[in-house]
Amino acid sequence: MPRPLIALIAVLLALPTALATPPSARETAVFAGGCFWGIEGVYEHVRGVESATSGYTGGSVASPTYRQVSSGRTGHAEAVRVVFDPAQVSYAQLLSIFFQVAHDPTQLNRQGPDRGTQYRSAVFYQNDAQRRAAQSAVERLTRAGTYGRRIVTEITALDRFYPAEDYHQDYMRHHPDQPYIVRNDAPKVTELQRAFPSLYRASWGG
């Protein structure tokens, strides 16, 4: 065997095992359901979620600001991009949390005290598998009569996701005593722990 090849093999054998093992693939999900503070806060407490980012998608203006989106004239929804490890939590499980904990999918263009199309319920899929999973979840919940009202969640292809301003990121984590958070969003994290104990983690992720 040639000496250069022997030397290369020796180097490779000396590398840590972690370097020789490819990391598991990460996937991304994008959900909208009212103010993004609450959606983000819920997913930051889900095992397997590596990051949750508040932002805007579904509109016609490039790089929109919070003020523009809040006007309701850009077509964007406040949304959250969730990066997760599918070896720990599946997209189907994230959908279950979205529909059962993170928001009320029967409220049209509103969520709690917030009104406007920017607060609409939507799943922004990135591939056909996500589209089918979202449609299946809606069909299953509808057949079960889970809510007693029609599910109005939009299922639409993701175009471009724009991260929101820095002060919106990790808002629940940084402002746990803010009245809006206490009244509208903290109860969702409590419900996550009750409804999905095996997926709940007490520490903040991301």
Q: Is the dihedral of CA 55, 167, 34, 25 positive or negative?
A: positive
Angle between helices 186-195 and 36-43 (to 10 degrees): 40
- The H or E element containing residue 133 is helix 128-144
Q: Which two tokens stand for residue 201?
A: 């983690």
Distance separating alpha carbons of residues 4 and 170, to the nearest angstrom: 51
Look at phi and psi of residue 111 and say left if phi exceeds 0, alpha if psi is from -120 to 50, else beta.
Answer: beta
Residue 35 falls in the annotated catalytic set: yes
Q: Which two tokens stand for residue 181?
A: 């958070």
Query: The tokens 């509808």 sit on which residue?
Result: 142
Distance separating alpha carbons of residues 45 and 40, to the nearest angstrom: 9
Active-site annotation holder among 29, 35, 52, 134: 35
Distance separating alpha carbons of residues 206 and 94, to the nearest angstrom: 16
Residue numbers annotated as active site: 35
